Structure 1
Amino acid sequence: MKIINVVGARPNFMKMAPIIEAMRSYPDHFQHLLVHTGQHYDEKMSESFFVDLGMPTPDINLGVGSGSHAEQTARIMVEFEKICLREKPQLVIVVGDVNSTMACTITAKKLGIKVAHVEAGLRSRDMSMPEEINRLCTDVLCDYLFTTDHFADENLAAEGVPADKIFFVGNVMIDTLLKHRAMAATLDLGRQLGLAPQGYATLTMHRPGNVDDKNVLTGILEALAEIAREIPIVFPIHPRTRKMAGQFGLDGFFSTGPKVQGLWITAPLGYLEFLHLNMNARFVLTDSGGLQEETTVLGIPCITMRPNTERPITCEVGSNTLVGNSKEKILEQAHRILNGEIPRGLVPEKWDGHAAERIIQVLLEKPC
């Protein structure tokens, strides 16, 4: 079976790495190419992941770069169509919910190529999120829908997807986390930064709903600054957040070290570096989807600064809590954690490090 594996943005790399590794165990069954669309092209946001995760250098890099959603999606489709016509794959595998995921799915299906979606069925019910649109468009077209939990299965069934297309395999991002956890634990980054285990929090924030409105961003930063007076917050700042904070004149909330009042900003970190910090943090604040999953497995309390999540399993069994972008709710949940009121939570079914192996078994048993 000739397969094109597609990656485009930071979270895709953690999800694709274990799939490629599992394919390598069956060289007589799979011929696979890795296509990097170049949707994220900053070294810390993409290229370092190939080193950290032991992934092969991409066979093809489309180099599409940034732009509006329409521009980026169009460029990916134009360039990916050329690859599909030249390589003639039997299957395209896409992961996650970024523009590359949707664009490559549509392109492949219009050429009569089957598509598998890893992490299918996730729904936030929030159509203001570009990712939600990408998920819906991708899932309705795909031939194999690999899901992470029972919520995803139920969402797809409710949307009329035939049961024989849905495969509950677990979470490939957790495959990567469990494989690299011991390696991340050996890093000396925490000590170099002067951070004691459980003596700091980490933060990620980049979603438009949080950073594109001055009043909203100001309220969040005020809450975080208040928390930072009690416990250092390490913030590997996203380029979008840095840009918007600068435009709004909010740079005064940021510091360059833990001894200065405010959020301690760093450049974006590599996968292993950030895993090292998160696994030793007291808690994590985020508006990311993937971190909700990682903290659930690590047993680290997570404060999700969103009104909804496409990963409700992390709230059902884990220690993830949705607080929206309310200053008061962010502070309330942080104080609950600091007071020891948050239980550890459980790990969801099949988040055991073997999701990629299950995906490969489905492809072996039900080939294109």
Structure 2
Amino acid sequence: MTSRVHLIAAARPNFMKVAPLYHALTAAGDFTPVLIHTGQHYDANMSDDIFRDLSLPAPDHHMGVGSGSHAEQTAGVMVAYEKIASEDRPDWLVVVGDVNSTAACALTGTKLHIPTVHLEAGLRSRDRAMPEELNRLMTDVLADVLWTPSPDADANLAAEGIPADRITRVGNIMMDSLELIRPRLDAVAAAAGMDLRPGHYGIVTLHRPSNVDTEAMLSPIVDALAEAAQRLPLVFPQHPRTAARLEAFGLKGRLERAGVRLVPPQSYLPFMSLMKDSAIVITDSGGLQEETTYLGIPCLTLRDNTERPITIDEGTNQLVKADGLVAALDAALSADRTTRSKPEFWDGETALRCVEDLRRRAGRGNEPA
């Protein structure tokens, strides 16, 4: 007997988390994965190309929800997923990460009494001004099974009263995605394609509303990046939201005059090739905090908090503000690169543990049906 599993993908990081699980479920033989793209991100370099990079087929369902307010996106996904799930009811629903589609599908699925799993559960920034934090809190309360990446996530769920039998630590599936494409990274040679010398440039990514939505917040960051660009070349793949704000606030020219290379969003394979060969990453992304820890690359995170504290405790990440960015950059570039051990279960085998847990919870043990 095979189990039908809906896998929800919405924003760029979701695709990386879904891909290894899709491949592991397909290889297992006793599961039929069904890819569902909500369309929350609709730029080709942030969605469709990533499916190609990760050897995923075209989605079985595409909602085409697109942009809009948080309420519009959440409501649109709920309506669309309810229709899909009613016509193609799965045995399991797996939602990943912390975007609006994650919470929307979790709410819809659990109301339809579909066993629902949250992959990357238990992360907490403790900042309710972040939409992602609210999505995480809602999803973890609703989901029947919580797959966590790290001990701090287990502890967060336990402190919130989640029963232990709903929690399984499976590890960090983003590392599975990285290992999936690692053999192709050197061949891509993204740095050489941009005339950059490996180990002698930095990468910048920014997208969070708290950093880019107001000129008062974005302008000091731009000033800091302009100064940082005098230390080493910086490449800045622009999220569509950020590109629009830089234009609207008249800040794009300041970066260009400082020599910051502004480029379009990169799909997963070229971006990871570029990151692998970088000297440092400046970001407000959650996933990049993890990937730099795995690769041993210094990461400066422009945020007041992180839902991934293990990247600070055991990794290469540190939180910085705009006015401390250049000093932190200088310190990180001059520091010795000591070898760090990777956190437990950040080993490229998380998807296999997910499959094993589904089998166990379905009462099928470890053997294919």
Give TM-score scaled by structure 1 length: 0.96
1:326 equivalent among 322, 326, 344: 322
CA displacement 1:1-30 (0-9 Å, x = unmatched): 221111011000100000011101222x21
Alignment of 1:1-368 (within 5 A): 1-27=3-29, 29-255=30-256, 261-323=258-320, 325-327=321-323, 329-340=324-335, 343-367=338-362
**Unaligned 5+ residue runs, structure 2?**
364-369
Contact 2:189-2:274 within 8 A present in 1 as well: no
- Determine the C-alpha separation between the residues in 2 that align with 1:330 and 1:81: 45
CA displacement 1:291-349 (0-9 Å, x = unmatched): 000000100000000010000000000110011x332x111110102222564533110
Amino acid at match of 2:343: P
Bigger drift between 206-215 and 302-311 goes to 206-215
Contact 1:301-1:344 within 8 A present in 2 as well: no
- Aligned-pair CA distance for 1:253: 2.1
Distance 1:341 1:226, change over 3 A: farther
Amino acid at match of 1:273: P
What fraction of aligned residue pairs are identical, expressed as a percent?
48
CA displacement 1:29-48 (0-9 Å, x = unmatched): 21221110000011001000
CA displacement 1:262-305 (0-9 Å, x = unmatched): 31100000101010111100000000000000000100000000
Amino acid at match of 1:205: L
Contact 2:10-2:101 within 8 A present in 1 as well: yes
Contact 2:91-2:115 within 8 A present in 1 as well: yes
- Determine the C-alpha separation between the residues in 2 that align with 1:261 and 1:194: 18
Distance 1:331 1:295, change over 3 A: same
Give TM-score scaled by structure 2 length: 0.96
- Aligned-pair CA distance for 1:159: 0.5
- Aligned-pair CA distance for 1:246: 1.3
Contact 1:319-1:343 within 8 A present in 2 as well: no
- Determine the C-alpha separation between the residues in 1 that align with 2:180 and 2:32: 24
Amino acid at match of 1:63: G
Distance 1:210 1:341, change over 3 A: farther
- Determine the C-alpha separation between the residues in 2 that align with 1:163 and 1:147: 12
**Unaligned 5+ residue runs, structure 1?**
none
